[in-house]
């Protein structure tokens, strides 16, 4: 396995920039997830890396070798696609051995069989080996495509939303399996997805990308707790983070459209460089506290909706005229719609963003 | 699903089947007509009203394979042979001597009888005339020749002709097979490659190119036949196999490109990309992934190209004469003097139909899947 580096890669389609000056480094044996919405340039990045597309500018390095002008075959990376990934009219065994039959690899038939059997066993598809690929379920299909990637023992794995065509339960199971496999193989893996749950659950590091620009590249914990801007904060986390417009003066935070004012702690103010003026405040639902009694650092709100999720409740409350906040409470929480409730924030968990640039104000 | 077919649906289904049967029947009438005509005798073939029941015979088939000429009318001459035969039948010697003087060859029976009457005098003439005419007649063919003739020669004699030599029809059929197959292979191969290019690569002005390719089919072929003839003559392609192969390939190529593009567009590009990443070149991916996937399309395209080339008449008529002539212009050239010989033409046509039927039959599974492509894809 090998490290991967993209150096200022730019790719345009018909003059539209798909990937914009993107620099990315993936360590050897790292599980790196490229996370972003549809059309963000994730797949294009992957294709530039695999050699299916050539970048207009910038260099691509695999194992510290400049492979920018190499063909996909010579780059020796394996790719798992979202769909249509298995060769039709071939059995599972033929699919698995197809990469090994390439002229650029010189593998004896015995070695080929050994590897196919081994991979089939690892992925628990050995009972399917002689089946035609169109007789497989979706999960089995993706397992075979992952197998086809593994069997080659490549420099790196590239996966383009391999789980997104599967149903939720299967996705969860395969997520675990993929993570375990990556650890066992010590594989360098670049995984592209729009599903933040997949990213958070599997990644060693997450790169959040939008409009071809890599916004933040960090460990999942950092991405979640120290988002670089409003987009990252909003993209990661379920239920979604609350964004509130507010005003900071002399260490007091006033939410827009209300008279609700919170006195911010000094360490919080220090963290954001003692800003004053209009800000966007982000607070994750689990960091919103709801209580029946009023005290000095709470404000009144009205219950809007209670969603029972089983292990917890998601409670939406209305503050002022237009703003809404969602809070996560334990499942015992009960309240009538339109009842008055008092809310406060875990101040250390507040995120502050510049109103114009939407960048985080945290220093 | 089949279990809950309503009564009305069942009825509709039956009506559809009946309609299909009727249509099939109507479609098959010309084939039936040609096939039966090919095994009718000439008089049955031109009978009005048409004959449904008839004595089948092979004359038409034999005629296609032979060059023939009309039998000559009988001639009359008293030869030594005639005299010997007459003597054996007991004709007196003086009569024979006088008859021997009638040595000339006569082209009609009346002239001959006049001569015999004159030589023998009216009385003896009436006694011996029938015998003399019998032995003096030189028929075409002679009875011995007829007796020795093979069955097909007899068939032709019976229809008032004799065989001069074998006709070049087998050679013309072979030309048709050769030219059609080679041009079909070329147009499908080139069409598949071109379609692949248009389908997988960003080609500048792709739509215009495709339209241009199609536009080669937009005017009737006859419009260009004269300039084409002049060009072919200038480069020496008149009456060559190569000439027709080039022409049919060019003619079918636009069709082939369009049809194959439809098929290749349907093959997900991910397959090839996966193969390229798995260590294959684009051409290997094309060969190992795209070709097996587009066999159906290629078969359907091949059938259409083959039929077009096989049936082409106008260019073949103008641009070939002998060496490279195909069957279509040859068959009607059998219309000789006098009445068109429909049995020969029908027999030639039936033989001409067989190869294309076999070809289509071999590819029928692909063809059915090919023409319904897109409709039954998951």
Could you give all domains of chain A from N- to C-terminal order, each with its CATH number?
4-235 (3.40.50.300), 242-354 (2.40.50.140)
Name A132's bridge partners.
A91
Mean pLDDT of B57-67: 88
- Are both B80 and B123 inside the same structural domain? yes
- Are both B85 and B2 inside the same structural domain? no
For B226-283, what is each residue's pLDDT tens digit?
999 999 999 999 999 999 999 999 999 999 999 999 999 988 888 899 999 988 999 9
Alpha-carbon span B50 to B43, nearest angstrom: 10
- B20 domain residue, yes or no: yes
Closest-CA distance, A127 to chain B, in angstroms, reads 24
A84 vs B270, B277, B278: nearest CB: B270
Query: Which chain B residue is nearest to residue A159, measuring alpha carbons?
Result: B274
- B87 domain residue, yes or no: yes
Give the domain CATH number at B336: 1.10.3720.10
Mean pLDDT of B279-300: 90
Query: Which chain B residue is nearest to residue A47, measuring alpha carbons?
Result: B273
Mutate to test the interface with B, among A62, A98, A157 (most CBs of B within 10 A): A98
The pLDDT of residue B150 is 86
- Are both B177 and B87 inside the same structural domain? no
Where residue B373 falls among pLDDT bands split at 50, 70, 90?
Answer: low
Residue B1 pLDDT > 80, yes or no?
no
- Are both B82 and B133 inside the same structural domain? yes
- B104 domain residue, yes or no: yes
The pLDDT of residue B5 is 65
**Residue-wise DSSP of A15-28:** TEEEEEEEEEEE-T
Cβ pair A73:B289 closer than 8 A:
no
Query: Which chain B residue is nearest to residue A146, measuring alpha carbons?
Result: B274
Cβ pair A87:B273 closer than 8 A:
no
Where residue B4 falls among pLDDT bands split at 50, 70, 90?
Answer: low
State whether the Cα torsion A212-A217-A222-A226 is positive or negative. Answer: negative
Cβ pair B273:A79 closer than 8 A:
yes
Residue B378 pLDDT > 60, yes or no?
no
Chains A–B, number of C-beta pairs less than 8 Å apart: 58
Closest-CA distance, A267 to chain B, in angstroms, reads 52
Query: Which chain B residue is nearest to residue A105, measuring alpha carbons?
Result: B279
Residue A2 pLDDT > 90, yes or no?
no
Closest-CA distance, A212 to chain B, in angstroms, reads 22
Tally Cβ neighbours within 10 Å of residue A342. 17
Residue A36 pLDDT > 80, yes or no?
yes
- B377 domain residue, yes or no: no
Kind and range of the H or E run holding B360: helix B342-362
Tell whether B273 is within 8 A of chain A (Cβ): yes
Where residue B369 falls among pLDDT bands split at 50, 70, 90?
Answer: low
Q: Find, among A324, A306, A304, A302, the residue nearest to A315 by Cα.
A: A306
**Which positions in chain A touch B279 (Cβ < 8 Å)?**
73, 76, 99, 102-105, 152
- Are both B213 and B321 inside the same structural domain? yes
Mutate to test the interface with A, among B279, B291, B292, B378 (most CBs of A within 10 A): B279
Residue B24 pLDDT > 90, yes or no?
yes
- B62 domain residue, yes or no: no
**Which positions in chain A touch B271 (Cβ < 8 Å)?**
84, 87-88
A85 vs B270, B276, B289: nearest CB: B270
Cβ-proximal residues to A288 (8 Å cutoff; 6+ apart), any chain? A242, A325, A326, A327, A328, A343, A344, A345, A346
**Which positions in chain A touch B270 (Cβ < 8 Å)?**
81, 83-85
Q: In this structure, are residues A133 and A91 in contact, taking their beta carbons and an 8 Å threshold?
A: yes
Task: Using a pLDDT cut of 90, give the percent of chain B over it.
Answer: 42
What is the DSSP-derived secondary structure letter of residue A359? B
Task: Return the higher-pLDDT residue of B211 and A168.
Answer: B211
For A316-352, what is each residue's pLDDT tens digit?
999 887 788 999 999 888 888 889 999 999 988 999 9
Mean pLDDT, chain A, whole residue set: 90
**Which positions in chain A touch B377 (Cβ < 8 Å)?**
none
- Are both B247 and B357 inside the same structural domain? yes
Q: In this structure, are residues B124 and B103 in contact, taking their beta carbons and an 8 Å threshold?
A: no
Q: Find, among B42, B65, B66, the residue nearest to B343 by Cα.
A: B42
Looking up tokens 């997805």 gives A193
DSSP-derived 3-state class of residue B373: coil
- Are both B263 and B343 inside the same structural domain? yes
Tally Cβ neighbours within 10 Å of residue B301. 28
Residue A153, phi-psi category: left (phi > 0), alpha (psi -120 to 50), beta (remainder): left
Cβ pair A52:B274 closer than 8 A:
no
Closest-CA distance, B366 to chain A, in angstroms, reads 15
Cβ pair A89:B270 closer than 8 A:
no
**Which positions in chain B touch A76 (Cβ < 8 Å)?**
279
Mean pLDDT of B96-121: 82
For A128-178, what is each residue's pLDDT tens digit?
899 888 888 888 888 899 899 989 889 999 999 988 888 888 888 888 889
SS (H, E, C) B132-194: HHHHHEECCCCHHHHHHCCHHHHHHHHCCEEEEEECCHHHHHHHHHHHHHHHHHHHHHHHHHH
B280 vs A84, A88, A102: nearest CB: A102
For A83-125, what is each residue's pLDDT tens digit?
877 888 889 999 999 999 888 888 899 999 999 999 998 888 8
Q: Which residue range is the domain that position B205 belongs to? A: 169-371
Alpha-carbon span A354 to A276, nearest angstrom: 10
B279 vs A85, A89, A105: nearest CB: A105
Where residue B371 falls among pLDDT bands split at 50, 70, 90?
Answer: low
Residue A31 pLDDT > 70, yes or no?
yes
Tell whether B292 is within 8 A of chain A (Cβ): yes
The pLDDT of residue B3 is 53
Where residue B153 falls among pLDDT bands split at 50, 70, 90?
Answer: confident
Mean pLDDT of B57-75: 86
Cβ pair B278:A78 closer than 8 A:
yes
- Are both B134 and B8 inside the same structural domain? no
For B131-143, what is each residue's pLDDT tens digit?
888 888 888 788 8
Mean pLDDT of A225-232: 93
- Are both B221 and B262 inside the same structural domain? yes
Task: Return the higher-pLDDT residue of B147 and B315.
Answer: B315
The pLDDT of residue B370 is 61
Distance of CA A159 to the CA centre of its chain: 13
- B99 domain residue, yes or no: yes
- What are the C-alpha distances in Å from A4 to residues A50, A157, A319, B53? 11, 10, 48, 85
Task: Return the higher-pLDDT residue of B371 and B51.
Answer: B51
Q: Which of the residue ranges A251-255, B120-124, B266-270 would you say has the lowest mean pLDDT?
A: B120-124
Alpha-carbon span A344 to A89, nearest angstrom: 61
For B357-368, what is each residue's pLDDT tens digit?
998 888 887 777
- B64 domain residue, yes or no: no
**Which positions in chain B touch A88 (Cβ < 8 Å)?**
271, 293
Closest-CA distance, A233 to chain B, in angstroms, reads 33
DSSP-derived 3-state class of residue B40: coil
- Range ranked top by mean pLDDT from A59-63, B51-55, B123-127: A59-63
Alpha-carbon span A25 to A32, nearest angstrom: 9
Residue B338 pLDDT > 70, yes or no?
no
- Are both B108 and B198 inside the same structural domain? no
Cβ pair B275:A87 closer than 8 A:
yes
Residue at a domain's end among B117, B139, B161: B139
Residue B340 pLDDT > 60, yes or no?
yes
- Are both B82 and B197 inside the same structural domain? no
Mutate to test the interface with A, among B205, B274, B287, B295 (most CBs of A within 10 A): B274
For A176-228, what is each residue's pLDDT tens digit?
889 999 998 899 999 999 999 999 999 999 999 999 999 999 999 999 999 99
Cβ pair B281:A71 closer than 8 A:
yes
- Whether the complex's predicted ipTM surpasses the cut of 0.95: no
Give the count of domains, chain B: 3
Where residue A29 falls among pLDDT bands split at 50, 70, 90?
Answer: very high
- B325 domain residue, yes or no: yes
Instruction: Provide residues of A within 8 Å CB-CB of chain B.
Output: 50-52, 71-73, 75-79, 81, 83-85, 87-89, 98-99, 102-105, 148, 152
- Are both B213 and B331 inside the same structural domain? yes
The pLDDT of residue B140 is 79
């Amino acid at each position: 396995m090998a490290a991967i580096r993209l150096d200022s890669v730019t790719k345009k389609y018909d003059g539209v920039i798909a990937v914009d000056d993107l620099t990315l480094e993936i360590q050897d044996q790292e599980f790196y997830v490229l996370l972003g919405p549809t059309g963000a340039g994730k797949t294009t990045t992957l294709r530039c890396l695999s050699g299916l597309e050539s970048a207009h500018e910038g260099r691509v390095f695999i194992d510290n070798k400049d492979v920018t002008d190499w063909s996909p075959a010579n780059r020796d990376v394996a790719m798992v696609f979202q769909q249509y990934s298995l060769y039709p009219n071939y059995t599972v065994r033929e699919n698995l051995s197809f990469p090994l039959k390439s002229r650029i690899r010189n593998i004896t038939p015995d070695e080929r069989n050994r590897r196919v059997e081994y991979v089939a066993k690892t992925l628990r598809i050995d009972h399917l080996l002689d089946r035609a690929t169109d007789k497989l379920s979706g999960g089995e299909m993706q397992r075979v495509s992952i197998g086809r990637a593994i069997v080659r023992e490549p420099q790196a794995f590239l996966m383009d939303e391999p789980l997104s065509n599967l149903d939720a339960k299967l996705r969860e199971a395969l997520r675990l399996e993929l993570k375990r496999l990556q650890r066992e193989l010590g594989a360098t893996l670049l995984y592209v997805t729009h599903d933040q749950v997949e990213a958070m659950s599997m990644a060693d590091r997450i790169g959040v990308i939008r409009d071809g620009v890599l916004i933040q590249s960090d460990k999942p914990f950092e991405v979640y707790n120290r988002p670089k801007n409003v987009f990252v904060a909003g993209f990661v986390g379920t239920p979604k983070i609350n964004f509130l417009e507010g005003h900071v003066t002399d260490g007091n935070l006033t939410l827009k459209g209300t008279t609700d004012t919170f006195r911010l702690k000094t360490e919080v103010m220090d963290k954001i460089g003692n800003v004053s003026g209009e800000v966007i405040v982000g607070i994750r639902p689990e960091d919103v506290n709801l209580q029946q009694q009023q005290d000095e650092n709470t404000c009144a709100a009205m219950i809007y909706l209670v969603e029972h999720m089983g292990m917890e409740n998601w409670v939406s409350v209305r503050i002022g005229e237009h703003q809404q906040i969602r809070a996560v409470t334990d499942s015992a929480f009960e309240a009538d719609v339109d009842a008055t409730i008092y809310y406060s924030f875990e101040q250390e968990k507040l995120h502050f963003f510049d109103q114009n640039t939407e960048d985080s104000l945290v220093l | 699903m089949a279990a809950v077919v309503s009564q009305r649906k069942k009825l509709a289904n039956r009506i559809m089947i009946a309609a299909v049967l009727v249509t099939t029947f109507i479609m098959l009438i010309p084939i039936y007509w040609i096939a039966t005509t090919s095994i009718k005798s000439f008089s049955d073939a031109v009978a009005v009203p048409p004959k449904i029941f008839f004595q089948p015979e092979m004359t038409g088939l034999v005629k296609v394979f032979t060059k023939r000429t009309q039998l000559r009318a009988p001639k009359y001459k008293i030869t030594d042979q005639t005299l010997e035969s007459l003597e054996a039948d007991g004709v007196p010697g003086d009569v024979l001597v006088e008859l021997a003087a009638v040595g000339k060859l006569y082209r009609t029976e009346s002239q001959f009888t006049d001569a015999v009457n004159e030589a023998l005098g009216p009385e003896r003439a009436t006694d011996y005339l029938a015998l003399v005419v019998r032995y003096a007649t030189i028929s075409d063919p002679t009875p011995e020749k007829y007796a020795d003739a093979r069955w097909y020669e007899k068939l032709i004699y019976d229809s008032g002709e004799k065989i001069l030599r074998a006709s070049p029809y087998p050679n013309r059929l072979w030309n048709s097979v050769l030219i059609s197959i080679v041009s079909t292979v070329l147009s499908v191969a080139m069409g598949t490659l071109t379609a692949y290019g248009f389908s997988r690569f960003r080609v500048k002005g792709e739509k215009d190119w495709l339209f241009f390719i199609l536009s080669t089919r937009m005017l009737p072929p006859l419009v260009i036949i004269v300039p084409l003839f002049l060009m072919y003559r200038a480069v020496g392609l008149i009456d060559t196999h190569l000439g027709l192969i080039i022409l049919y390939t060019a003619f079918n190529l636009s069709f082939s490109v369009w049809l194959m593009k439809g098929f290749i567009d349907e093959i997900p590009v991910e397959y090839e990309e996966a193969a390229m990443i798995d260590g294959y070149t684009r051409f290997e991916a094309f060969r190992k992934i795209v070709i097996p996937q587009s066999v159906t399309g290629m078969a359907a395209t091949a059938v259409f190209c083959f039929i077009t080339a096989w049936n082409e008449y106008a260019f073949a008529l103008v641009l070939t004469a002998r060496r490279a002539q195909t069957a279509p212009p040859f068959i009607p050239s059998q219309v000789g003097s006098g009445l068109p010989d429909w049995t020969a033409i029908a027999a030639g046509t039936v033989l001409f139909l067989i190869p294309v039927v076999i070809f289509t039959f071999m590819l029928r599974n692909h063809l059915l899947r090919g023409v319904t492509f897109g409709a039954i894809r998951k």
